[in-house]
Amino acid sequence: MTRILPMLAAAALLAAPAAFAAEGATPVDRAPPTKTPSAMTPTEIKAYNAGLPETHPYFIKCRKTLELGSLVKKVRVCHTNEKWKEVIANSSQNARDATEAFTSKGGSSSN
């Protein structure tokens, strides 16, 4: 037992640089998906994402959202990281525009 522990520690130290090298490897060059990610099956998405780091612009992420008017039904929405950034930026801008429209109308009333 006393010999096994130091050997395991040494093996972990020897394997660590290889793991860090794999993480810091050059970005994988891959074309964007040919199908719309929401139309892909989970198996196709998993196969497409194989070998891509989660921070790659073409890595596909899916989210489930509740469908309006239903307490149970959920809709799966999938996009690439690149598209998610656009979606979030657009929705944030729409929220700012709506807030500004409501506050400007409420403050300029001269009744």
Q: Six-digit token pair at 70?
A: 């239903």
Residue 80 · residue 63 · CB < 8 Å: no
Per-residue pLDDT of 18-55, as tens digits, reads 444 444 444 568 889 999 999 999 999 999 999 999 99
Question: What are phi and psi for residue 83, nearest 5 degrees?
Answer: -70, -35
Instruction: Determine the number of helices (DSSP H) and then strands (DSSP E) in the chain.
Output: 3, 2
pTM over 0.85: no
